[in-house]
Structure 1
Amino acid sequence: MNATLSLASVLAEQAKRRPDRIALIEGEHRITFGELWEQARGQAAALIALGIRPGDRVALMCPNTAEFPRAYYAILAAGAVVVPVHLLLTAREAAHVLRDSGVTLMVCHPLFAPVGEAAASIADIPCVAPDSLAGEPIPAFVSRAPEDPAVIFYTSGTTGTPKGAELSHLNLVMNATVNAFDANDVRPEHVTLGALPLFHVFGQTVSMNSTWRAGAALVLQPRFDAAEAIRLMVAENVDTFHGVPTMYIGLIEAAARAERLPALRLCVSGGAALPGAVLEAFEATFGAQILEGYGLSETSPSAAVNQPDFGSRAGTVGHPVWGVDVEIADPDLGRAISLLPTGELGEVVVRGHNVFNGYIGNSAATQEAVVDGWFRTGDLGVKDEDGFVRIVDRTKDLIIRGGFNVYPTEVEAALLRHPGIAQVAVIGVPDPTYGEEICAVVVPTESTLPDADTAAGIIEYGREQLAKHKYPRRVEFLNELPLGPSHKVLKRELRLRYAVAHSDS
C-alpha cells in the first residue's frame, strides 16, 4: 500500500488530541483546535463543490487574520495545493503568480479585493472571499502522497522574474516537526506571536505550522507594529517570538516607551543576518536570548539554527536541523559539488528532507539549483571545527572594491555600534576607480541630525573599526529602509536608487 501524508494533519491531529484547547487568538476571537478544523473542513467542502480536485492549485491572498489559516487548511484538506500571494504585489505581479502556477481559483480577503480581483481577471480565473466558502464539513482530509506538492512559494524576484518553489507535504510536515521538537522544545502551554506574514515561508512554517504541530497557541498580529506587538505579548502572555532583524530593532526601540515588557522564553531570528549589537541590546532589554537560524523558501525554510542541544554561538546560525546536512562547497564549480575543508569560505549547500521538489515549469533553474542532491543556496558561509555555520553574505550582495571582497553584513555589524545609527544597509555603488564603492544607507536615531557632519563622523567611525578596503566612503540618510513583505531590507531598490544618484552627481 502506498504511503500517504498531508500537511493538513498538523491541524487535524490537534483537533483530535486537544479539541478544546485554544489554537488561535485574533483580537477578541478565541478559536479552539476543534472549532478551527471544523471550519476548515466546511470550507474544504465548499472548494470541492466549486470543482477543486486533488492536485489543483488554489491561490490565497490574505493577511494575518483567522481567514488565512482557515482557508489554508481548507485547501490542503481538499487535497489541493496552496499558492500564497504576497500582499504587496501589484495586480500585474500577482497575475504572473496566478498564471505561472496554473491556479484554478483565487481565495482573496476583502481587504485586498481590488488587487486580487484584478489579478484573477487578468489570469481569467474566479475569485472568491474566504468567508463565502461554507458547506457541510467533509469527514476527513483528502490523503496525498508524501512527495506530492502542498504549497508553492514564489521567490522574491530580486534576481529576476519570481519562480515558484514547490514544497511537498513531507518537506513541510518534517520542517514543522523538527522545529517544534528537535531544534526547540515547544509545548502545548506555550504561546507564539504570529507577527511574521503567514504568506511567507518563515511565518507559515515556523510560526504557524510548528506552533500547532506542538499543540500550542498562536496569537495573530495582522500587521507588525513594534509597540503593538509588545502590548499584545503582554496581554496574551506570549512567550515565543519569531522575527527578522528589523523587527527586533523595532522592539528594542519600542521597549523604551513600554510600561511593561513580555516574559519571553524563546526568540528566533531569520531572514537576514542578525547584527551582534542588535542581539546584545535585545537580550539586555528583554532578558531573553535570540537563537539565530537560517533557511530559504527552497528549504521549507529551516536548514540550520542555534539549538539548545548544541549550545548557541552569536554570529552563527548554529547547526543543521535534524535530518538535514549543511556544508560548504566550492562556489566556482557549476555542475558538481566539491565540499571544502573546515574553516574555508564557500557556497552554503543543503540536502535533506527539507529540500524542495523544484521550480514549477522551470527544469533548467531546478537543475542549476540542485546538484548531486544538494541545493545551492547562493549564500557564502563558513563552517567551524565545532560544526557551527556562519553566513557571510549573499553572493549577489557581495561588494568588490578594487579587487577586494567586502561583505556588507560585516560592515553593517560594525556600523550598528555607532550611537547615531538606528538602522543601516550597506550596498555597493558603481565607481569609476574601484569598480564599486561602499555606501552606507543610514536611518539615524531620533536625536541624530542627518547632515554632512554626521555623515563624516560615520565615515570616520567606520575607518576606525574596519580595514581600509571595508569602510564606507559614502553615507546616505533615509527616514526608513525599504522593506519587503517579509520585513527584509530591499537592497536591490537601494542599489538602483543610489547608483542613479551617484551617476548624476
Structure 2
Amino acid sequence: MKSTDALIAAWRQTIGRAKDAPAIFNARGQVVRKFSEIEERACDFETKIELFNAGSVIAIQIGNHEDWPSILIACLRKRLAVLPLEQSISDQQRDAALKICRAIGVVETAVPSGKTPEVVQLRKTAPTPDWGEHLPGLLKLTSGTTASPRAVRFRSEQLLADCNQICDTMEISDVDLNFGIVPISHSYGFSNLLTPLIARGVPMVLSRDRMPRAVLADLGGSNATVFPGTPVFYQAFCEMEDVPALPKLRLCISAGAPLAIAVARQFRQKFNLPIHSFYGASECGGI
C-alpha cells in the first residue's frame, strides 16, 4: 500500500525527476550517493526495522552519515518516530533521552562515515506510545528554559511545511548545493540539510572537518552555493588572513546561537555576502 506520509509523497516526486542525479558529495567533490542509491538503501534498511511496531520510537545516532536520508525515509514508511541524537552527548544524556522518549531501538555507528549503521534493539518488549490520531514522524529534543530534555513531536506535514518555508523564503532549489557541516541530528541541520534533500531534491556536501580553515577551504573547493553555518564559524572566517575565493557561494545562514552585529558587518565587508540570521526555535522551526 502506498504511504500517505507527506514527506514520503514529496520524496516520490524527487526520486521521479532526479533519480540518477548526484545527491550527496564528500568534501573532495566525489559523489557518495545518487538519489537512486538513497532509495535503494532505504528499501534495504526497511528490512532491518521490520521487528518494530508502528508508533515505536527509534533513536538515530550516526553523526553526519550519508545514510541519514535513507534511514529517515525507511522509518517514515514503517511509521516509526525518529529521535535524532548528537554523537557529542554523554552516555548519561543519551540514556536520559532514550528513557524519556521510550525508545525501543537505536541506529548507531562507531564512525560518522564508511561503516554501515547498525540497528540495536534496546528491549524485546515495550508498550508502544499512545500517540492518538497524530503519529509523529520526528521527536526533537530540547531543554527549553529548563536543564532537563523534553521531546517535541512533529508530524511529516509539519516537517514539510518547515522545509517549504525555508526553501521558498531563501529561494533554495535543486540547482543549489548545500554545505553540511552543522549536525543533521540538530534541529537546524535537519531542517536545512536533510528535508530539503528529500522534499526538494537539494543536493548537499557532507564535511566532517570542523576546523574553520578547513571548512572555508571545503566551501570553496566544493562549489557549494548555500552555507548553513553558526556564529563561531563566521567569526573565525572574519579573523582569517589569505582566505580562499568563494565564487559559487550565494547564501549564508546563521543559527544555533546569537550572531553579533559586528561579526555580520565584518563578514559582509570581507566576503561581500550578507548573513541571514535564523531564530530557529525547536518548537516552530526556522524563522
**TM-score when scaled to structure 1?**
0.50
Aligned-partner Cα distance in 2 for 1:9–1:25: 24
Q: Which runs of 4+ in 1 moved over 6 A?
A: none
Ranked by relative contact order (alpha carbons within 8 Å, sequence separation 6 or more), the top structure is: 2
8 Å contact 1:6–1:146 — kept in the other structure?
no
Alignment of structure 1 residues 480-499 onto 2, 5 Å? none
8 Å contact 1:4–1:146 — kept in the other structure?
no
Which of 234, 247, 260 is equivalent to 2:245?
260
Aligned-partner Cα distance in 1 for 2:236–2:88: 21
* Residue 172, structure 1, aligned to residue 159, structure 2: yes
Structure 1: runs of 5 or more not aligned: 113-119, 127-144, 305-505
Residue of structure 2 in register with 1:79 after alignment: 79
* Residue 205, structure 1, aligned to residue 203, structure 2: no
SS of corresponding position for 1:149? coil
Aligned-partner Cα distance in 2 for 1:66–1:6: 22
Percentage of pairs with the same residue? 22
Which of 232, 240, 246 is equivalent to 2:218?
232
SS of corresponding position for 2:185? coil
Aligned-partner Cα distance in 2 for 1:229–1:238: 11
Residue of structure 2 in register with 1:219 after alignment: 205
Which of 111, 123, 126 is equivalent to 1:125?
123
* Residue 196, structure 1, aligned to residue 182, structure 2: yes
Aligned-partner Cα distance in 1 for 2:9–2:229: 26
Aligned-partner Cα distance in 1 for 2:181–2:172: 18
Residue of structure 1 in register with 2:128 after alignment: none
* Residue 277, structure 1, aligned to residue 279, structure 2: no
8 Å contact 2:187–2:282 — kept in the other structure?
yes
Let me know the Cα RMSD of the aligned residues.
2.4
Aligned-partner Cα distance in 1 for 2:8–2:204: 17
Tell me how far 1:194 sits from its aligned partner. Answer: 0.9
SS of corresponding position for 2:253? strand
SS of corresponding position for 1:24? strand
Residue of structure 2 in register with 1:38 after alignment: 40
8 Å contact 2:175–2:202 — kept in the other structure?
yes
8 Å contact 1:25–1:220 — kept in the other structure?
yes
The 3 A distance-change label for structure 1 pair 67 and 146 is farther
Structure with bigger strand share is 1
* Residue 251, structure 1, aligned to residue 249, structure 2: no
Aligned-partner Cα distance in 1 for 2:151–2:16: 33
Further displaced range: 88-97 or 65-74: 65-74
Which one has a bigger Cα radius of gyration?
Answer: 1
Residue of structure 1 in register with 2:68 after alignment: 68
The 3 A distance-change label for structure 1 pair 146 and 214 is farther
The 3 A distance-change label for structure 1 pair 211 and 111 is closer
Tell me how far 1:185 sits from its aligned partner. Answer: 1.1
Deviations 1:449-484 (A, max 9, x none): xxxxxxxxxxxxxxxxxxxxxxxxxxxxxxxxxxxx
Residue of structure 2 in register with 1:22 after alignment: 22
Alignment of structure 1 residues 307-322 onto 2, 5 Å? none
Tell me how far 1:197 sits from its aligned partner. Answer: 0.5
Tell me how far 1:81 sits from its aligned partner. Answer: 0.9
Structure 2: runs of 5 or more not aligned: 113-119, 125-131
8 Å contact 1:233–1:262 — kept in the other structure?
no
Name the count of aligned residue pairs. Answer: 269
Tell me how far 1:157 sits from its aligned partner. Answer: 6.6
Tell me how far 1:125 sits from its aligned partner. Answer: 3.5
Alignment of structure 1 residues 348-363 onto 2, 5 Å? none
Residue of structure 1 in register with 2:129 after alignment: none
SS of corresponding position for 2:248? coil
Tell me how far 1:209 sits from its aligned partner. Answer: 1.1
The 3 A distance-change label for structure 1 pair 46 and 239 is same
8 Å contact 1:180–1:210 — kept in the other structure?
yes
Aligned-partner Cα distance in 2 for 1:259–1:274: 23
Deviations 1:334-382 (A, max 9, x none): xxxxxxxxxxxxxxxxxxxxxxxxxxxxxxxxxxxxxxxxxxxxxxxxx
The 3 A distance-change label for structure 1 pair 66 and 209 is same
**TM-score when scaled to structure 2?**
0.85
Residue of structure 2 in register with 1:349 after alignment: none
Aligned-partner Cα distance in 1 for 2:239–2:198: 30
Aligned-partner Cα distance in 2 for 1:88–1:158: 21
Tell me how far 1:60 sits from its aligned partner. Answer: 0.4
